[in-house]
Structure 1
Amino acid sequence: MKHLEEKTLSTRQIFKGRYLKIEQDQVQAPDGRTYTREYILHPGAAMMIPLLPNGNVVMIHQYRHAVKKVFLEFPAGKRDHNEETLLTAKRELLEETGYEAKDWKFLTTIHPVIGYSNEHIDLYLARDLTHLEQRLDQGEFIEVVEVKPADLMQLVLEGKVSDVKTQIGAFWLDKFLRGEWN
């Protein structure tokens, strides 16, 4: 696949925000021509599928400003600088939902928007949950809900859950609950 790769000729940062950066590269493509590529640098994130003893999952309702809408999602959050994503997962689960988990299982890594970002999200199954107290960050407004996996899958199939990380998590959860993945 080397024949498809582009050679980076130069890179410049064109935006630096609180946690996102946008870079612009000049690249030499396989056809020998020079092109401009712009992309977002993201610190990475973790998403958790918190599975309760009753078989339901803990999810959140959260407003997402970019699309101006409240979404039903699995809890997730961005990595702090040099933080392992399992630590991110543990921290974010407690902050967003008030739950701690004793049993953590890594599922997979996803790259949700490869056309314009290097973002990657590590997905974890969190079990043996204990409810403590939600510890939201300032300016964070989240409603915690309990959802039956079958209801979640129906919402995905109806297009009512369009967040890609949550859709992928729902399919991993379904596979796990069917015993097709341990």
Structure 2
Amino acid sequence: METQKSSEEVFKGNFLHAFRDRVVLPDGSEATREYVVHPGAVMVIPLLQDAQGAWRVVLERQYRYPVGQVMIEFPAGKLDAGESVFSCAQRELQEETGFSATEWARAGLMHPVIAYSTEFIDIWFARGLTAGAQQLDAGEFLDVFTATPEELLQWCLQGKVTDAKTLAGALWLQNTLAGNWDLQWQSAQSLA
């Protein structure tokens, strides 16, 4: 364990809040830790089933400025102050893709960048999808499309999908569809 000795705010923006702390290490020596405080986020793995019972996943293509590329991702977004993770999952799915879901299952939690951020991402599956209109945030531009789970996994293998949360989601999807990991599906009404 490390014990905080002092903390200094380095940057406070509209979204990110950065700190530089001095800590005491287990051997008594001191070190500096710089990190970003993040409000947390959700990611949704939306499942569409065709008439033959085959699954497709809803994905997005979105340009990400920090890496200068268009990325393939599952729908995701940050928590608003006081918002539950389930409400955020419903909101982000609808705003970004236009879909709403009748059934939801919480898969788990991930910490995508533990070396320098407090960010966590709550992972949800959604099914029983109904199409609707997107309600993108101002300045948000993305394309929504579907793919088979096999296509998504192939893109992960080929390095076409490099987003950490989507890679983790693909692992969850693969194990869930194979029957290795169980999900506890619930109606949207029972979770609200």
Q: Offset at 1:92?
A: 0.5
Kindly indicate whether residue 44 of structure 2 is the aligned counterpart of residue 12 of structure 1. Answer: no
SS of the residue 2:77 aligns to:
strand
Shift of 1:68: 0.5
**Structure 2: 5+ residue stretches without partners:** 183-192
Identity %: 48
Task: Please state whether the residue corresponding to 2:95 is helix, strand or coil.
Answer: helix
Deviations 1:97-136 (A, max 9, x none): 0000111100010000001101000000001101010110
TM-score, normalised to structure 1, is 0.96
> For the residues of structure 2 that align with 1:126 and 1:118, how far apart are their CA atoms?
26
The count of corresponding residues between Structure 1 and Structure 2 is 178
1-structure distance, mates of 2:168, 2:26: 33
| Aligned-partner Cα distance in 2 for 1:137–1:77 | 11
Equivalent position of 1:44 in the other structure: 40
Structure 2 partner of 1:64: 64
Instruction: Name the structure 1 match of 2:23.
Output: 27
Letter matched to residue 151 of structure 2: D
Q: CA deviation at 1:82?
A: 2.0
Moved more, 40-49 or 8-17: 8-17
Distance 2:21 2:15 in 1: 20
CA RMSD after TM alignment = 0.7
Q: Which residue of 1 aligns with 2:127?
A: 127
CA distance in 2, matches of 1:36, 1:82: 31
Look up the SS of the partner of 2:66 in the other structure.
helix
Letter in 2 for 1:155: W
3-state DSSP class of the match of 1:40? strand
Greater shift in the superposed pair: 41-50 or 170-179: 170-179
Residue segments in structure 1 that go unaligned for 5+ positions in a row: none
Deviation digits for residues 38-93 of structure 1, max 9, x if unmatched? Answer: 10000000000000022101000000000000001000000001211111110000
For 1:84 and 1:12, how far apart are their aligned partners in 2? Answer: 29
Which AA in structure 2 matches 1:35? A
State the 1:22 CA deviation: 0.2
| Counterpart check, 1:77 vs 2:77 | yes
Shift of 1:13: 1.0
- Offset, 1:159: 1.2
Distance 2:69 2:42 in 1: 22
Shift of 1:10: 1.1
Q: Per-residue deviation at 1:19?
A: 1.4
Instruction: Give the drift of 1:36.
Output: 1.1
The corresponding residue for 2:177 is 177
1:101 aligns with 2:92: no
Instruction: Specify the SS of the correspondent of 2:49.
Output: coil
Q: Which amino acid aligns with 1:87?
A: S
Q: Aligned AA for 2:76?
A: A
